[in-house]
Structure 1
Amino acid sequence: MNKKIILILFISIFSNDSLSQSKEEPIVLNTETGDIHGTLSISDPSKITPIVLIIAGSGPTDRNGNNPMMTNNSLKMLAESLAEKGISSLRFDKRGIGKSKNSGTKESNLRFEHYINDVKQWCNFIKKDNRFGDLIVLGHSEGSLIGMVASQEKQVDKFISLAGTGFPAGDILRKQLKDQPPLVLEMSAPIIEKLEKGETVENAPEMLYALFRPSVQPYLISWFKYNPQLEIAKLNIPILIVQGTTDIQVNVEDAEKLSESNQKAKKIIIENMNHILKESEAERTKNIQTYSNPKLALKEELIPVLVNFINEH
């Protein structure tokens, strides 16, 4: 065998070893109401690595950052990028979503605490696995609030808020309804106020029924009572707050409010990064187009920021 063939063979073997270092495997969390399915990305099976628990945002968003209406693979790309940098991760379909669909409860029985308790269980699950070192909880969008409440448990080493809101859900809903005809906010305001007090509302107006139907009101009550500024203030661990300037769903002001609420927090603002962590203009139509482009890479500056924080001692 000549030297050239030996060199090619060596490169081939070396490359295959490099590629096979990281691996993904399905993982299941058993709960009282059914199984929650996730993906465990192990950066290097031969080493003890930090692990990031990735929590998806609101609505039918799955473990990869996608929903039935759009595919962008933002959270899948996040996990893969972290694995390349020596950091393992676990991402999962929330109860009622994707492969975890059968773990969903009746809408009238669902509470925000279900999501929080699921994350706590995942944290306990991970901490029992001696393949991993530091546990970092990363919540994206609504997942930020879920994560910061769950991270008040002792087993979490660090917390990352990625495009997380800085205001209670009731305030966010009022702000969103301001974009509707004035009558909509006028009719909604007293309902929101009552729900914030923990009281249900009978006979919601027909035009607002989808938003305030009786079966969803208990969930809204459970969600409205959490103020991100108060919850993040309870954390006594290293905190990273990351926000993009072209996010049309969450503003830089949200990141500032979170940062002001806890002196331990480090705030990073990334120019021209939108809500799905991709580069985008602020113009709404062009921004939303990125939500359905799985080929568009994550914003270049994001991963170094996360890796630096995760590896800090």
Structure 2
Amino acid sequence: MAEDELSLEGPQGLLKGAYVEAADNRAVVLIIPGSGPTDRDGNGGNGLHANSYRLLAEGLAEKGVSSLRIDKRGMFASAAAISDGNKVTVEDYAEDVRRWAEKLSSRSGHECIWLLGHSEGGLVALKSVETGGAPVCGLVLTATPGRPIGALMREQFKANPGTAPLLPDLNRILATLEKGETVAQEDIPPGLRWLFSPGLQAYMINLFSHDPARLMASYAGPSLILQGTGDIQVKVSDARLLKEAAANATLTVVEGMSHMLKTVPGEGPDSAMETYTNPRLPLSEAVVPAIADFVLRPRNR
């Protein structure tokens, strides 16, 4: 897949991304990564090697849809943009997206571009259109939470048998962060300090303050909500909350699709985890057609 490296001036250095121009170049999407250290291809730490965003770019190009995949401020090829990748806010990411949208519109020759946010990237997409002004055609929200992230994390911890002994501490820490307050490291069990370092706590306080459904309700443009029934992180009920907030949104539920936009190859959570670690697994068959059909649909502008 031929791609060009694009760059954008960040706070201290360059933000970078990979642009793929489809032969037909009928539309263009900006792919916004999910939470944590996730790179432009959809890979990162803790064994995450799914290649989901690269597979999206390849599949969309075959449908005539160009794309830009980005590394987030302070991470991977965008590491020079800020000295500490944890010293960011959702508003910072949203501002980067707005500026990328302007650059991508100019580079692709399209009057407007589509924002394709995955997981937490969907929240960033929603935040980036809150004030308008950017050349955005509409939103594609894939595996995007419909509730504040603190509530989602609490549910995820409860569903994980391995965290059962730590649930009281986890709930206490989350409740404190949701109030906008930090927790001293000595008040956090040693096994959880990596998750709640001072830098990450500051980011979580900001992250937890945003309600995706409220942001969705304030957006009047076209939007596609794409959610899988095999997702062990974000539920179909989250997608329905987003849909309820925006009656004109299109909701597409893909049977058996995991959080990484791939079909779970078997039964149980262990099988779902293979979609996070096996880059050879393809995207669910419905994903690319659903996105391409939506962004290429004729509309009055």
TM-score (norm 2): 0.89
- Does residue 264 (structure 1) correspond to residue 248 (structure 2)? The answer is yes
Letter in 1 for 2:7: V
What's the counterpart of residue 245 of structure 1?
Answer: 229
What's the counterpart of residue 143 of structure 2?
Answer: 163
What's the counterpart of residue 118 of structure 2?
Answer: 140
1:83 to 49, 61, 66: 61
Letter in 2 for 1:65: G
Distance of 2:48 and 2:59 partners within structure 1: 21
Letter in 1 for 2:152: I
After superposition, where does 1:107-126 map in structure 2 within 5 Å?
A: 109-126=87-104
Per-residue deviation, 1:226: 0.3
Could you tell me whether the CA contact under 8 Å between 2:71 and 2:77 is conserved in 1?
Answer: yes
**Could you list the per-position Cα deviations for residues 73-102 of structure 1 after superposition, in whole angstroms to 9, with x for gaps in the alignment?**
111111111111111111111123221222
2:77 to 69, 77, 99: 99
What's the counterpart of residue 219 of structure 2?
Answer: 235
1:31 to 5, 10, 34: 10
1:310 to 290, 295, 299: 295
Secondary structure, aligned partner of 1:128? helix
Per-residue deviation, 1:293: 2.2
**Could you list the per-position Cα deviations for residues 253-292 of structure 1 after superposition, in whole angstroms to 9, with x for gaps in the alignment?**
1111111111121100011111111121342112212322
Per-residue deviation, 1:233: 1.0
Secondary structure, aligned partner of 1:215? helix
Aligned residues: 290
2:279 to 278, 294, 301: 294
Letter in 2 for 1:63: R
**Could you list the per-position Cα deviations for residues 185-211 of structure 1 after superposition, in whole angstroms to 9, with x for gaps in the alignment?**
322334322322222333432334333
Against the structure 1 CA distance between its residues 130 and 91, is the aligned structure 2 distance closer, same or farther, given a 3 Å change threshold?
closer
What's the counterpart of residue 19 of structure 2?
Answer: 40
- Does residue 188 (structure 1) correspond to residue 170 (structure 2)? The answer is yes
Structure 2, unmatched stretches of 5+, are: none
Larger Rg: 1
What's the counterpart of residue 172 of structure 1?
Answer: 152
**Could you list the per-position Cα deviations for residues 28-82 of structure 1 after superposition, in whole angstroms to 9, with x for gaps in the alignment?**
11112221111111113xx663110001111221111112423221111111111
Moved more, 184-193 or 234-243: 184-193
Distance of 1:73 and 1:181 partners within structure 2: 28
Secondary structure, aligned partner of 2:259? coil
Could you tell me whether the CA contact under 8 Å between 1:242 and 1:270 is conserved in 2?
Answer: yes
1:64 to 24, 38, 41: 41
Distance of 1:257 and 1:38 partners within structure 2: 31
What's the counterpart of residue 221 of structure 1?
Answer: 205
Per-residue deviation, 1:130: 5.8
Distance of 1:168 and 1:78 partners within structure 2: 26
- Does residue 210 (structure 1) correspond to residue 194 (structure 2)? The answer is yes
Moved more, 179-188 or 84-93: 179-188
Letter in 2 for 1:298: L
Distance of 2:200 and 2:25 partners within structure 1: 43
Distance of 1:42 and 1:293 partners within structure 2: 26
Moved more, 79-88 or 181-190: 181-190
What's the counterpart of residue 5 of structure 1?
Answer: none
Distance of 1:198 and 1:255 partners within structure 2: 26
Could you tell me whether the CA contact under 8 Å between 2:141 and 2:224 is conserved in 1?
Answer: yes
Distance of 1:112 and 1:240 partners within structure 2: 21
Distance of 1:303 and 1:213 partners within structure 2: 37
Distance of 2:15 and 2:276 partners within structure 1: 25
Could you tell me whether the CA contact under 8 Å between 2:144 and 2:234 is conserved in 1?
Answer: yes
Structure 1, unmatched stretches of 5+, are: 1-21
Per-residue deviation, 1:303: 1.3
Against the structure 1 CA distance between its residues 81 and 64, is the aligned structure 2 distance closer, same or farther, given a 3 Å change threshold?
same
Segments of 4+ moved more than 4 angstroms: 180-183
Letter in 1 for 2:277: S
Per-residue deviation, 1:181: 5.0
Letter in 1 for 2:187: A
TM-score (norm 1): 0.86
Secondary structure, aligned partner of 1:243? strand
Against the structure 1 CA distance between its residues 141 and 23, is the aligned structure 2 distance closer, same or farther, given a 3 Å change threshold?
same
Distance of 1:59 and 1:304 partners within structure 2: 28
Identity rate, percent: 36
